[in-house]
Amino acid sequence: MRALTWQGKYDVRMSDSFKPRLISDQDVIVKVTGSSVCGTDLHLYHGTVLQMQKDDILGHEFCGKVDSVGRAVKTLKPGDRVVASACIACGDCYYCKQKLTSVCENSNIDEVQNYLYGHRTAGVLGLSHLNGGFAGGQAEYVRMPYGDTTLLKVPDDVPDEKALFLSDVLCTAYHAVVRVDVQKGDTVAIWGLGPVGLLAACFAFQKGASRVIGIDNNWRLEYGKSRLPKLETINFSDIPSGSSVSTELRKMVDKGVDRAIDCAAGEYPKGIGHKVEIGMGLENDTSEIVNEMILSAKKFGTVGVVSVYTGYTNHFNIGAIMELGIRFIGVGVVPVQVYWEELLQQIQAGTLDPTIILTHRIDLEDVPKAYAILDAREEHMMKPFVQTKFSDPPAPGTPALTRF
């Protein structure tokens, strides 16, 4: 089969690979009909994620058709349309029984996280051996362990272009808004207007937020406003010297915002101090955005972190959190299974349109180019739908194929 493989820093390629086969009784082999590239995949592309190996197949967002099932699989049969959960979960451990599948205790055999976090998270599809080393969905076939838990049946009236985002970004954005506790009338600021940031803004309005302000520095600001007309924006590159994002936000919202959500990334320091400290190995992540959020929040407000942070950070404003009663929340990797049925119902009812983030349809063979384009934030590419030779034609109202 054809699959996208990781070959090293800034080097991903299409390769011929072996079609996966059933290994355990709970496995399901899925023929992929749609996948995507995620902001998280770019961290692998940059080579900043530990324990990557040459020829690893990437991708944790995909949908498809069941090809074959293991003997113990109860809910699925060949031919069923399904969407996959990004996290691999056993469905049976202490956490899975509470549906907290992203911290499953059985699906990730890697030991490194125990040293870093004192615990392990669940395995994640196509996301390094640090997360279990599962082959991912930017391919023609995928082996999904624990198929009864990790696959959701997709009804006929929901096209792949809408079902696909239940794998991760749709559930992640919703999880963020639920975790930071957005309430009717709240003011909400969101750092980063990528797919997760934009969907979080959409869900914040859905929960009754009175104002939502998105912070970014490129075309995604205009794109966000074109999809959500009530969205307000701050371009952090246009802020006059001497001012700051928090100062500008405090000018726009008296007393500060009720909820602040970081949907950007902790990998990129802005100031020289953090650049030096990360370079010297004195910290893993920058605290700049987190501190901006803390200074932008209302007293007793909530600050939540969705983006990828991996370890320790310096200069974290713990004093402001304590003195002002700010609630600091690690949103955590989304336990997809808590939300995906509810969100699928919303899609069916027409109250939620996940395609607000869908800008392109590309072919699997062009995925390496999509990594470079998304990394450079070019072509106004927000989120691509990746077709394979098994895909249906584009659903009405969704982008036609672009070849790069």
What is the nearest approach in angstroms of Zn ion to the Cβ of residue 381? 15
**Of 53, 293, 64, 36, residue with least CA distance to 172:** 36
What is the nearest approach in angstroms of Zn ion to the Cβ of residue 310? 16
Looking at the Cβ atoms of 168 and 216, the one nearer to Zn ion is 168
What is the nearest approach in angstroms of Zn ion to the Cβ of residue 66? 22
What is the nearest approach in angstroms of Zn ion to the Cβ of residue 391? 19
Supply the DSSP symbol for 219: T
Looking at the Cβ atoms of 40 and 85, the one nearer to Zn ion is 40
**Of 149, 145, 164, residue with least CA distance to 391:** 164
Q: Which residues pair with 234 in a beta bridge?
A: 215
What is the nearest approach in angstroms of Zn ion to the Cβ of residue 379? 19
Residue 276 one-letter amino acid: V
Looking at the Cβ atoms of 57 and 96, the one nearer to Zn ion is 96
Q: Which residue is nearest to Zn ion (CB)?
A: 38
Alpha carbon distances (Å) from 351 to 111, 203, 298, 343? 42, 11, 31, 9
Environment class of 81 (CB within 10 Å of its CB; exposed 0-12, middle 13-18, buried 19+): buried
**Of 115, 104, 112, 102, residue with least CA distance to 332:** 102
The token pair that represents 22 in the structure block:
């059933």
- Interface residues with Zn ion (CB under 5 A) are 38, 40, 89-90, 93, 96, 104, 106, 168
The token pair that represents 61 in the structure block:
């967002």
Alpha carbon distances (Å) from 76 to 80, 83, 101, 151? 7, 12, 19, 9
Three-state DSSP at 217 gives: coil
Looking at the Cβ atoms of 65 and 99, the one nearer to Zn ion is 99
What is the nearest approach in angstroms of Zn ion to the Cβ of residue 48? 16
Looking at the Cβ atoms of 122 and 294, the one nearer to Zn ion is 122
Looking at the Cβ atoms of 61 and 292, the one nearer to Zn ion is 61
Looking at the Cβ atoms of 69 and 96, the one nearer to Zn ion is 96
Looking at the Cβ atoms of 96 and 295, the one nearer to Zn ion is 96
Burial 43-71 (b: 16+ CB within 10 A, else e): bbbeeebeebeeebbbbbbbbbbbbbbbe
What is the nearest approach in angstroms of Zn ion to the Cβ of residue 78? 26
**Of 232, 314, 237, residue with least CA distance to 277:** 314
What is the nearest approach in angstroms of Zn ion to the Cβ of residue 190? 17
Residue 53 one-letter amino acid: Q
